[in-house]
Structure 1
Amino acid sequence: MNSTVVSCPGKVLIAGGYLVLSPQHQGFVVSTPSRFYTVVQPVPGSSETSADRFSITVKSPQFTDGQWEYVARKDEQGEWTVDEVKKEGHGSNSFIHLAIGSTLLLSSALSPSTIYSSLLITIVGSNDFYSQSREDNDPIPFAPLGVEIKNVHKTGLGSSAAMVSSLTSALLLHWDSRSSLQADEPEPTVLSASQPRPALFPKPARLEVPDKDTLSLIHNLAQYVHSLAQGKVGSGFDVSAAVYGSHVYRRFAVECLGNLLSTESNEKVTGQSLLKTLSPPHNPLWTTNPTSALVSPFGLPPGVILILADVDAGSNTPSMVGKVLAWKKAQPEEAKQVWDSLKQSNSDLAESFRVLSTRASEDADAYEKEVQKLSATTSDEWSSSSAHFATAAKHILTTRSLMRKMGEASGVPIEPPEQTKLLDACSAIPGVIGAGVPGAGGYDAIWVLALAPSVSSDVAAPEVAVEKLLRSYTEMSVRPLSRRAWVQGGRKMVETGLLREELEAVEGLRRAVGGL
């Protein structure tokens, strides 16, 4: 059987920071071209394989300690459990361990007749998930980082969520395809705990997911595993972006996960309990208001580009979130005023993007001429004749101001003064719509939204000027991510979430995987 390859994108939350923690509010998340890839390969004829036992080796060759070994076995109750085989020089990885164990349990409940065999799994992430050497502006794809995982500096694109989503979905798809090949009777169209089912995805590479219910199951599994590994249920927008791509997001209610994460429950998590809790047909909380998540289309308009940069400092996001929530509880009236204003500003920004996308589709030539004209002037010079671009710029500034107000009130550096100075410098460049700090803010990263005219002119493209500023900036240690990580507006493939891939079609993936 051929290898199974699945990729999931990173994310940028451009609006909705902190608000996405509440089911009453929405965020606007953009998926990036940077992706995590999981390659699942069977190991034929392994002596470890039997009806109730098989081995799993996981490699992450970008790290010096990136190898783990596991043995999956059936316990006395017939439930699969996964044990780690300890190796000197290789620490544990709870995200990988829990992803394998949970996916195996769910797979066995979905298709009890599946016969499992030993696996070799390779996991790699695009270079821009991690800070790269400043001397190497064009590293090879999936470049070795030369450090242990615990010492890597991340760039804030949601690496753990993209990795977990990629790993769980690749395993579920791999095992699902085996059970489908074994089916001897017509297969059901509804998820069943007692019958084989059809393959989750068609075989051809890089197909968007056609089955909404199947994608929901994969999303719910990844949310569960990510929450389990983190020890808490976060907002979940990073996992949602890894599965669905760019979209408007409203979080799911914690109740959707039932007792799966309860430390007080003495009930063992089984394949059936996972199926009944995570499968939408079995658990209506995932599909009915007010407990269900909201995922609706969202994307950047044509003629713009989202430039991403890594700030070499760092922030403790959980600590920041904790302080903001403490302030919200202590000062409910003040917090409600700020949050309501942020909600309106974010919605207005999304509406500006929607209107711009509509205008581009209705009259592409006029839209391009406007982009070309505005690229030569700064956003504060844009007139009412360019109302929607000017309005978008205004809403970005309003959101930044409100986020600073929240930060000052809660004692959290959401947009610290150093970042404000850098963002203002970027925003003053001709053709820049605005700039901001993604997600929870702090010192980790920035984004810059600039016009990207398709027609060349004597004036330097805004993205060139932004990149030059970021590379020469001396008041903070900042480095633009490679252009491969930037997001081009109006391109459907860029906005896509989880994808089935062909190993040979992904540049550098065969080399990173090694001798498959």
Structure 2
Amino acid sequence: MSSSTVTVVSAPGKVLIIGGYLILDRSYQGLTIGTDARFYTIVKPGNKCSKITVHSPQFNDAAWEYRVNDACQVEAINEDNRNSFVEITVKYTLSVIANRIPKQKFNEIINQGLDIYIAGSNDFYSQRKQLEILKLPLNTSSLRLLTPFNKNDINLKQVHKTGLGSSAALITSLVAALLIHFQCIDNIGNQQKTLIHNVAQMCHCLAQGKIGSGFDVSAAVWGSHVYKRFSPDILNPVIQDENNVDGATIDNIVDPSTSNWDNEVVPTALPPRFTLVIADVDIGSNTPKLVGKVLAWRKANPEQAKALWDTLASHNSMVIDGLRELRSEYENNKSEYEKAIELCSEVKGSEWATLAEQKTLHSNIINGLIKIFQSFQKVRQFLREMSTLSGAPIEPPVQTKLLDACTEIPGVIMAGVPGAGGFDAIFCIGIGNKFVENVENLWLNWKEMNVGPLLANESSEGLKIENLDSVKGLATILT
């Protein structure tokens, strides 16, 4: 297989640490952190004329076949075996491509057929059953023993996801890989990323049947960043009349030079020596139902909701500003920054104020850590208030108890429920070398819930063009 005929693109998963619910409204911002857990799409020429086969080798019976008719329209071959996320993405991305490259070139590539393989890092799916089969404990050491892109002996509908944004990362990597394979774009610069983002947002919204906040697709494109959503009206023409929108209209909607996309992306990263750790919780919640409850409460109580959201937004901004200020402190005085981190990593966050009172040379840095710690505690407080008022279990009491215990560990600066909250996952962000081990030990010995650590860490990188043989285990999914 010639590497020149194979296209490989990856997109990261995400953790929304700031901005849950508020980012549904353009008036507010959120902070989404990219992870090194990634979805990979491989596109190569197929063997059958005009036939597109999409494989998901990590699951049983996970292959879908399509044909492209003379009007460049995608049709499912097997009506009894369909995957709406894949089908919609292939259909609409090829529609955009057909409007952007010469028809002869499009036909030459499509007439070869396409074999597409999609696989996600193990962290996108719970590996509990795999570890049970292998009689291994549920810890990071055991997870590292699993084969990359581990095959789950279940159907795709049965999988337990960990909340890292698998559908958004899948769709984004698939959109990008198709655009590159058809030579519609030749790199992933900012303009190309904007096109990929717009197409992926459209496909993701169509697949979900609604226009969401879009932060998960945005993270899959740009990695870690401060985010403000796009105006939903942009996609209304497609969402409201999906079956009667022609290719030219679709292309005009996603075209970065003619469309009115107003999303805001400010690239960022956690400050140096900060580490993100994530765990999935074996209870599970329904994000759409949580969001529905909060939005119903907001609609019924607009003044009360606005007051709460504005207060929550102010503390969200303090966390975001505090992280930015600490990155600046590091750039201006690395040695003092390192000393402050080492000092505070040995002490609980609630006791950092005592260190700041000592008037050491690095008090600005310690005060920055205190600002983030205290502001995030306020964020959790007002999210719990929203829980009470709306009836949505955003930070349920059982989660509160666990998160409070995490916060008591020296070096932990934030512990929370990501995104819409509920029972699906938790995250911790801390400093120093010891807190990761201490947090994992707490999780493993926690009795009230089964808390499973993931291997994923922060990675501020977004979309990447990959070399098939450079990603451990990736080439094996083709066999």
CA distances 1:307-363 after superposition (whole Å, capped 9, x unpaired): 100001111110110110110011111111110011110100011101111111111
Q: 2:113 is matched by which residue type in structure 1? A: S
Q: Distance in 1 between matches of 2:59 and 2:299?
A: 41
Query: What displacement does 1:69 show?
Result: 1.1
Q: After the TM superposition, which residues 398-437 of structure 1 pair with which residues of structure 2 at under 5 Å, given as runs?
A: 398-437=378-417
Please tell me whether residue 475 in structure 1 is matched to residue 457 in structure 2.
no
What are the residue-to-residue correspondences of 1:54-69 with 2, within 5 Å? 54-69=50-65
Match of 2:91 in 1: 101
Alignment partner, residue 359 of structure 2: none
Is residue 23–residue 30 contact of structure 2 (8 Å, CA) maintained in 1?
yes
Q: How does 1:207-286 map to 2 (within 5 A)?
A: 209-210=188-189, 212-263=190-241, 268-283=244-259, 285-286=260-261
Distance 2:219 2:157 in 1: 24
> 2:155 corresponds to which residue?
148
Which deviations, in whole Å up to 9, do the C-alpha atoms of 1:369-403 show, x marking residues without a partner? 11111111101110233111111100110000000
Is 1:501 matched up with 2:477? no
Contact map agreement 2:68 2:74 (CA 8 A) in 1: yes
Q: Partners of 1:270 and 1:213 in 2: how far apart?
A: 24
SS at match of 1:296: strand
Do 2:59 and 2:151's aligned partners in 1 also have CA atoms closer than 8 Å? Answer: yes
Q: Distance in 2 between matches of 1:473 and 1:258?
A: 46
Match of 1:447 among 410, 419, 427: 427
CA distance in 2, matches of 1:389, 1:338: 25
Q: Which moved more, 1:361-370 or 1:432-441?
A: 361-370
Provide the residue aligned with 2:139 in structure 1: none
Task: Quote the offset at 1:282 in angstroms.
Answer: 2.1
Aligned residues: 449
1:321 aligns with 2:297: no
Cα distance, 1:200 vs structure 2: 2.9
The alpha-carbon deviation at position 168 of structure 1 amounts to: 1.0
1:356 maps to which residue? 326
Give the Cα–Cα distance (whole angstroms) in 2 for the partners of residues 175 and 269 of structure 1: 23
2:67 & 2:81 partners in 1: Cα distance?
A: 16
Corresponding residue of 1:125: 120
Task: Work out the CA distance in 1 between the residues paired with 2:120 and 2:173.
Answer: 10
Identify unmatched segments of 5+ residues in structure 1.
178-198, 202-208, 287-291, 454-460, 488-493
The aligned residue for residue 360 of structure 2 is none
Distance 1:213 1:126 in 2: 27
Deviations 1:432-469 (A, max 9, x none): 1120000000000000011035xxxxxxx111101111
Residue 92 of structure 2 corresponds to residue 80 of structure 1: no
| Identical residues among aligned pairs (%) | 44
Query: Are 2:472 and 1:513 equivalent residues in the alignment?
Result: no
- Looking at structure 2, the residues matched to 499 and 270 of structure 1 have their Cα atoms a distance apart, in angstroms, of 30
Shift of 1:270: 2.5
CA deviations on 1:270-314 (whole Å, 9 max, x unpaired) are 32111111102122x12xxxxx00111221111110110000111
Shift of 1:155: 0.3
Q: Distance in 2 between matches of 1:402 and 1:156?
A: 22
**1:486: how far off?**
1.8
Q: 2:186 and 2:404 mapped to 1: Cα distance?
A: 47
Q: Give 4+ residue runs of structure 1 displaced > 3 Å after superposition.
A: none
Query: Structure 2 matches for 1:18-29, cutoff 5 A?
Result: 18-29=21-32
* Structure 1 counterpart of 2:379, one-letter code: T
Higher helix content, 1 or 2: 2
Counterparts of 1:298 and 1:98 in 2: how far apart (Å)?
Answer: 31
Native 8 Å contact 2:222 2:267 kept in 1:
no
Given that 2:7 and 2:180 are in contact with CA atoms closer than 8 Å, whether structure 1 keeps it comes out as yes
Q: Report the AA paired with residue 251 of structure 2.
A: L
Confirm or deny: 8 A CA contact 1:10 1:33 kept in the other structure. Answer: yes
Matched-pair contact (CA < 8 Å) for 1:107–1:271: no
Q: State the Cα deviation string for residues 99-130 of structure 1 (Å, max 9, x = none).
A: 11111110010013322230110000000000
Which residue, out of 295, 300, 311, partners 1:341?
311
- Is this contact kept in 2: 1:258–1:277, CA < 8 A? no
- Cα distance in 2 for residues equivalent to 1:447 and 1:321: 20
Which amino acid in structure 2 is aligned with residue 109 of structure 1? N
CA offset digits 1:25-55 (Å, max 9, x no partner): 1110000000000000112xx4x42xxxx00
Cα offset, 1:475, TM superposition: 1.1
Q: Root-mean-square deviation (CA), in Å?
A: 1.4
Measured in 1, the distance between the counterparts of 2:432 and 2:54 equals: 41
1:257 and 1:278 in contact (8 A); partners too: no
Query: Could you tell me how far apart the structure 2 residues matched to 1:143 and 1:477 are?
Result: 22
Q: Distance in 2 between matches of 1:200 and 1:220?
A: 17
Question: Which residue of the partner structure matches residue 191 of structure 1?
Answer: none
The equivalent residue for 1:390 is: 370
Q: Is 1:200–2:186 an aligned residue pair?
A: yes
1:10 paired to 2:13: yes
Distance (whole Å) between structure 2 residues aligned to residue 353 and residue 248 of structure 1: 11
The amino acid across from 1:302 in the alignment is P
CA contact (8 A) 1:57 1:69 kept: yes
CA distance in 1: counterparts of 2:156 and 2:328, whole angstroms: 44
One-letter code aligned to 1:60: S
- Aligned partner of residue 17 in structure 1, secondary structure: coil
Structure 2, unaligned runs of 5 or more: 137-141, 357-362
Give, in whole Å, the separation in 2 of the partners of 1:256 and 1:83: 26
The answer (yes or no) to whether the contact 2:290–2:420 under 8 Å persists in 1 is yes
* Residue identity in the other structure for 2:68: A
**Matches of 1:351 and 1:371 in 2, distance apart?**
18
The amino acid across from 1:162 in the alignment is: A
Larger mean CA deviation between 151-160 and 107-116 belongs to 107-116
Q: CA shift at 1:258, angstroms?
A: 4.4
Alignment partner, residue 71 of structure 1: 67
